[in-house]
Amino acid sequence: MSRTVVDDLGTAVTVPDVCRRVVSLVPSITESIAETDRDALVGATQWCEFPADLDVTRVRGTKNPDWKAIVALRPDLVVVNQEENREIDVRRLRDAGVPVWVTRIESVDDALASLSRMFTDALGWPVPEWLGQAELAWQAPAELDGPLVAAVIWRNPWMVVGRDTFSGDVLERLGCVNAFADADSRYPTVEDGTLDALGLDVVLLPSEPYRFTDGDGPDAFSRTPTALFDGRLLTWYGPTLLRARRELVAAIATAIGTADRPSD
């Protein structure tokens, strides 16, 4: 039996009553599906690195998926994201007769609602327990007292989290003030030295999409403390949501606290 459901962009998608062969082209969603029913996942991108022991067919990257390989897997459903994947690849798959479910996520609330709909409407599965726990975790009040921050996502050129983004909403819910929340674009570019001159309380340097490390990132800031951390905490909206709040607050508070200590 099949049924017709509507994805986050309002497109009708015809799927089986219960999807048993799923391809994910979004690392965060791959983790979400694997955490819930690993046996149903038959394909994922090369960037889908979690869970670390995931053994499925790899179908290249998020921006250049091997759509012919995907078709050959005979999936009940392919799951993509409006921001991470390309419309042309969605069109190619649909033209080949493959059902594609597009998610749109620009906030924590979007993530929780979109994932819930993906599981129940698209996949025909019950809402997983971890998703309910994540929803409870993000209902808590903000824990930080308004530190002014910038979250950097790229270097050369420097790019930061701007308006209308999932990451920006995460920061706001923690109690941070994003210095670029009112930027003209979602991921604005800033000139070298600009961030260090803004009087920020902390610059956030995640490990993805640019892999900031002890030797690549903090070296650019002589006035502003920096916080290095697992980038999934800020950008992923699957099971990582369960620990993201606690670990991000700890990383930011530690960076600010270290900066406030008197020098020896």
Q: How do residues 173-231 score in pLDDT, each as one tens digit?
A: 999 999 999 999 999 999 999 999 999 999 999 999 999 999 999 999 999 999 999 99
Contact in structure between 234 and 206 (CB atoms under 8 Å): yes
Tracing tokens 């620990």 back to the chain, one arrives at 243
Give the predicted TM-score (pTM) of the model: 0.94
Q: Looking at residues 107-132, what average pLDDT do you find? A: 98
CA 109 to chain centre: 13
Fold of the CATH domain 2-136 = Rossmann fold (3.40.50)
Annotated domain spans of the chain: 2-136, 148-260
Q: Does domain 148-260 have CATH number 3.40.50.2300?
A: no
